[in-house]
Structure 1
């Protein structure tokens, strides 16, 4: 195989129109095992392929990119850094985006290797071109450039190069291109910052983060809405959250939520502010967040009770986040009748809203009602039962009617609600007292696609694995459910057929 690839490369030198030869070589490379390529790739003369990129023929460019991508993947990053720096630089200047993406992906791969990154940093023009690619028209090119630079910044030498030298000004120059590019740079800065406290220190000293925070708290409504997403990403790391708290940013966002009451344009940025605190509740303590920033939960309830479908959806997603932990459930329980009233609205949305919002609603209900077996105390079981009953005057009939609809997303989401209560004794009592429900669970003919079959199987599994199912459902139903579980989600019962000869 190696000899044939070498020969195919040699043949390309000798023809004027090399497209057919490139196709043959590309096929040979794609069918060759990567391990065998790793042995022979260092000896391959790739100059002809790089030179053939200098064309306007799109087919030829695509073939060359595919060939180079396959061979370069077989080469060690250090080898690429030492032998193909000029080729990568030319690739970054190529008018075709696929060539730029190839060069950027190899640059990112090279930067991940601690032995190769030193050679990489000795190529100042290469790094400068990568930074310039952040300002490219195509988002796919910019994303690869951001990835490459963030990989370089994983080493101290890379951080020093980017933030302590002339490249910092290059970043600022690119940032000035337009609003879109500016937020790409912010995205890069946040990605670097989240890597470690040291990385955050470099980014903070550069002035980029303080500039981002200034924009977040500025008067431009649309800029606020964009900034909050970037600041939320910074809160994903512990040191990022600590920095935001120390800088008073979390308090500022809380005050922005309070001020939103008198702002007629708050619907543009309020969802982002709520999502920010929702994300904090995931990584921090829900009780701590809700106690220290009470306006957060107030806004969630307001958005859930309101008539704006967009705000309804954000409220549902946030409630799902809060209720994903027992601590979050207890926070919601402390609101008393207020949450019970919101649950009635949620039940109404699950029945009457457009399909997409109904699915989000059902997913939120699943999170709200789920309760891990090892945490099923009498108090918590009583709590989830009361919540279920608050959703509708006939909650079982509500979700059964949704589960029998022909829309897969709704059908599966309703089955997941049943699965959420299937391992709770009160949920099993609701099910056994609902006429025909067990027969519906065991009826395989109502589930026509893989997703539906899988969702039904998870419901059956939750029931069978419960310690109380045999007592509540009775042995006959329990054994039928066990048989269903043993047969698997895709079981098809064999049917006997009788041929009646001579029948007309």
Structure 2
């Protein structure tokens, strides 16, 4: 295989129109095992492929990109940095975005390997020894194509995984290059913020570099500024910074979390708050995921107040955010207990949620059903009498006839709604009270066992998960009875896609 690839490369030198030869080489490379390429790739003369990128022929460019991508994957980071740095640098200036992405992705992969393996400590340094290369990567953040900018952000993030890279980006002239690119327009400015947050989340040391650069304080200033649209965009970036422990600590120390809480309080008197309020709620919702829901709700009571207010309101957009946030809070037992402490207030909201599940547009109904699934789910090992009583009361609060509500949704011909309703049933299927609701609902067991009502893979899978939850419950045989239990076990054993064989009888008529 090695000899044939070398020969195919040699053949390309000798033809005027190399497209057919490039196709053959590309096929040979894609079918060759990567391990065998690793042995031969360092000896391959790739100059001809790089030179053939200098064309306007789209097919030729795509073939060259595919060939180079495959071969460069087989090379060590140091080898690429030392032997193809200039070619990659030229790739960043190429008018075709696929070539830019190739150059950026290869540098990114090489830097990632180098930063995470002790065997290649010099690869990052080799790339950094070319000042123009890093400068071009930074400039790519300001490019028109988002795909190119994303790859450039990724490459710089990889460079920043080493101290040498952090020093180069934040302690030298490249810092000014970043600021210059940032000044391009609003879109590019937020790309730079995205980069800064990604670097910051890597480690406390990285966060220190980013904080000292002034970018984070600039972001926070924009977040608390008067421009409503900028505020709405900034909150998403600040939320991303809160994904790391040290990022959250920094935001708390800088008083940012308190500021966001105060912004939520001030939103009551702001007629334009609907633009940024969803982002503020999502921020605290994300904090509740990674922190204690009880801690967040107790220290920032306005958060839960806004969630309830948005859920009870008439704005479908705000309804959706409230539902998603409730789903997040209710995903843990601690979060469920926080909601339970609100007493009748949450019971009233559940009535509204049941109404939305029945009457809202399809997309919002699906989000509503997913939230209900999260709210009602209760892990088997945490099913105390108190918690079971809590989820049962919540289910009953959704509607005067909750089983009929979800059965009517599950029989609708829309796959998303059908499956979402089945997931609600699966959420209560391992809870004794849920099983009692099911067995007391006429025809429900027959509906579960009827395979003819599920016509697509997603529906069959959702029904199967419901059956599995029932069969795996310790109480199912007692509540459903042995006959139904054995039929459910048979369904589970047969699998989600089982089709019962039917005998066909041909009758010959006689005169």
The Cα of 1:96 is off from its aligned counterpart by 0.6
**Structure 2: how far apart are the matches of 1:108 and 1:21?**
37
Q: Deviations over 1:413-457 (max 9, x none)?
A: 000000000010000000000000000001111111111111111
Worse overlay, 279-288 or 101-110: 101-110
Structure 2 vs 1, CA of residues 176 and 66 (structure 1 numbering), >3 Å: closer, same or farther?
same
The Cα of 1:462 is off from its aligned counterpart by 0.6
Structure 2 vs 1, CA of residues 131 and 503 (structure 1 numbering), >3 Å: closer, same or farther?
farther
Match of 1:227 in 2: 234
Tell me, yes or no, if the aligned pair for 1:108 and 1:148 is still in contact at 8 Å.
Answer: no
**Structure 2: how far apart are the matches of 1:114 and 1:305?**
57
Tell me, yes or no, if the aligned pair for 2:261 and 2:303 is still in contact at 8 Å.
Answer: yes
Structure 2 vs 1, CA of residues 317 and 285 (structure 1 numbering), >3 Å: closer, same or farther?
same
Q: Deviations over 1:307-329 (max 9, x none)?
A: 10000000000000000001100
Structural RMSD (CA)? 1.5
Matched residue SS, 2:498: coil
**Structure 2: how far apart are the matches of 1:480 and 1:474?**
10
**Structure 2: how far apart are the matches of 1:331 and 1:132?**
48
Tell me, yes or no, if the aligned pair for 2:115 and 2:121 is still in contact at 8 Å.
Answer: no
The Cα of 1:384 is off from its aligned counterpart by 0.4
The Cα of 1:114 is off from its aligned counterpart by 3.7
Tell me, yes or no, if the aligned pair for 1:108 and 1:147 is still in contact at 8 Å.
Answer: no
Q: Deviations over 1:109-153 (max 9, x none)?
A: 999954411211111111111111000100000000000000111
**Structure 2: how far apart are the matches of 1:288 and 1:303?**
21
Tell me, yes or no, if the aligned pair for 1:110 and 1:117 is still in contact at 8 Å.
Answer: no
The Cα of 1:498 is off from its aligned counterpart by 1.5
Tell me, yes or no, if the aligned pair for 2:115 and 2:161 is still in contact at 8 Å.
Answer: no
Worse overlay, 10-19 or 332-341: 10-19
**Structure 2: how far apart are the matches of 1:300 and 1:473?**
38
**Structure 2: how far apart are the matches of 1:141 and 1:52?**
21
Structure 2 vs 1, CA of residues 497 and 113 (structure 1 numbering), >3 Å: closer, same or farther?
farther
Q: Deviations over 1:182-221 (max 9, x none)?
A: 0000000000000010100010000000000000000000
The Cα of 1:180 is off from its aligned counterpart by 0.4
Worse overlay, 442-451 or 103-112: 103-112
**Residue 128 of structure 2 is aligned to residue 124 of structure 1:** no
The runs of 4+ residues in structure 1 deviating greater than 4 Å are 107-113
The Cα of 1:370 is off from its aligned counterpart by 0.4
Match of 2:56 in 1: 56
Matched residue SS, 1:111: coil
Structure 2 vs 1, CA of residues 112 and 480 (structure 1 numbering), >3 Å: closer, same or farther?
farther
Match of 1:192 in 2: 199
Tell me, yes or no, if the aligned pair for 1:37 and 1:74 is still in contact at 8 Å.
Answer: yes
**Structure 1: how far apart are the matches of 2:307 and 2:255?**
22
**Structure 1: how far apart are the matches of 2:161 and 2:483?**
61
Tell me, yes or no, if the aligned pair for 2:235 and 2:279 is still in contact at 8 Å.
Answer: yes
The Cα of 1:334 is off from its aligned counterpart by 0.6
Q: Deviations over 1:478-499 (max 9, x none)?
A: 1111111111111111111212
Worse overlay, 36-45 or 335-344: 36-45
The Cα of 1:502 is off from its aligned counterpart by 3.6
Structure 2 unaligned residues grouped into runs of 5+: 107-113
Tell me, yes or no, if the aligned pair for 1:42 and 1:75 is still in contact at 8 Å.
Answer: yes
**Structure 2: how far apart are the matches of 1:109 and 1:56?**
38
**Structure 2: how far apart are the matches of 1:326 and 1:129?**
50
The Cα of 1:274 is off from its aligned counterpart by 0.2
**Structure 2: how far apart are the matches of 1:375 and 1:469?**
18
Structure 1 unaligned residues grouped into runs of 5+: none
TM-score (norm 1): 0.98
Match of 1:288 in 2: 295
**Structure 1: how far apart are the matches of 2:92 and 2:305?**
50
TM-score (norm 2): 0.97
Tell me, yes or no, if the aligned pair for 1:343 and 1:390 is still in contact at 8 Å.
Answer: yes
Tell me, yes or no, if the aligned pair for 2:435 and 2:480 is still in contact at 8 Å.
Answer: yes
Tell me, yes or no, if the aligned pair for 1:370 and 1:420 is still in contact at 8 Å.
Answer: yes
